Amino acid sequence: MSPASITQKYSTLSPSLAVGIDEPDRNLALELVRVTEAAAIAGGHWVGFGDKNKADGAAVDAMRSFLQTVHFNGVVVIGEGEKDEAPMLFNGEQVGDGTGPECDVAVDPIDGTRLTALGINNALAVLAVAERGSMFDPSAVFYMEKLVTGPEAADMVDLRLPVKQNLHLIAKAKGVKVNQLNVMILDRDRHRPLVEEIREAGARTKFIMDGDVAGAIAAARSGTGVDALMGIGGTPEGIVAACAIKSLGGVIQGRLWPTSDDEKQKAIDAGHDLERVLSTNDLVTSDNCYFAATGITDGDLLRGVRYNKEKVLTQSIVMRSKSGTIRFVDGEHQASKWEGYARKS
């Protein structure tokens, strides 16, 4: 059975927007979960097989198919393929059924392709949607310096301040000592000086191999054991995370980080100020945006996909900034209906 026919068969479970409404409606959130579920189920078949491109390709195909059934007029403005040289939903691609509200779409069919290939925790299928023209255009700058923390210190931190000062501000806002703070950071050689600064300030580090969308959410969300995310990561992931943080509260601050003179010149030519610190509202200007993610492997945020003879089990999170609503969605899918996305050896 095709993705479209599956969606049509079960469309009563996720009511669409009323035709004629020109801004995203609350029901869009449930439609988006179906898309990330499909990407996670398809990509999840490749967990642990060591081939990140086949995993990503399967997730991309599933996400593209299901996006075409969503009741909106979407344009992909943030895609992952250009950076990763992997299968992609490309920038400028039209998605949705062509009716309903006009939207910017940010996609990451697998945030953590290497995590998926190696069977490591925290791989997600991710999708963010906002009103048309509201997502930041980073041009050709694929990386940015980031600082993420929760609501308590959102109005106190500043990416331009020394690391030690920001950590003391976060500790003060949370009413804890600096040595009780946990800072999440991507495990990269470029972060060695930052790691030294964090530890010299008295805080702890928590390394992640990939997947800093999940890391940003953990830093903004209470009860995760993560107080901040710092370091250089993907610009697309930063914009996707900003959509989630709009619902969670907290803040993401970013500063573009070109990796070459050519990339730097392209950014300047596009009108970017490379010293500017971008806030959550700079990365996504709309107050009506959506974030959806489904776990591929087990992680701090979500449980990974489970397959058995009769069912496929998924766990997802969906957020809407306008209402500040966060929902966790446990899905049970008939395995026979998803055979088209099964791993082909």
- 199 annotated as belonging to a binding site for a ligand: no
From residue 182, give the alpha-carbon distance in Å to each of 179, 225, 256.
8, 7, 24
Distance CA 104, CA 240 (A): 11
From residue 224, give the alpha-carbon distance in Å to each of 156, 218, 257, 260.
21, 6, 28, 36
- 210 annotated as belonging to a binding site for a ligand: yes
- 111 annotated as belonging to a binding site for a ligand: yes
- 234 annotated as belonging to a binding site for a ligand: yes
Q: Which amino acid is at 28?
A: L
- 133 annotated as belonging to a binding site for a ligand: no
Contact, 125 vs 40, CB < 8 A? Answer: yes
- 80 annotated as belonging to a binding site for a ligand: yes
- 112 annotated as belonging to a binding site for a ligand: yes
CB-side neighbour CA atoms (13 Å) of 113: 20
- 320 annotated as belonging to a binding site for a ligand: no
- 341 annotated as belonging to a binding site for a ligand: no
- 25 annotated as belonging to a binding site for a ligand: no
3-class DSSP assignment, residue 211:
coil
- 175 annotated as belonging to a binding site for a ligand: no
- 295 annotated as belonging to a binding site for a ligand: no
In this structure, is the dihedral angle defined by the CA atoms of residues 129, 133, 136 and 139, taken in order, positive or negative?
A: positive
- 12 annotated as belonging to a binding site for a ligand: no
Contact, 55 vs 313, CB < 8 A? Answer: no
Annotated binding site for substrate: 111-113, 143, 188-190, 210-212, 234
Annotated binding site for Mn(2+): 56, 80, 108, 111, 237
Annotated binding site: 56, 80, 108, 111-113, 143, 188-190, 210-212, 234, 237
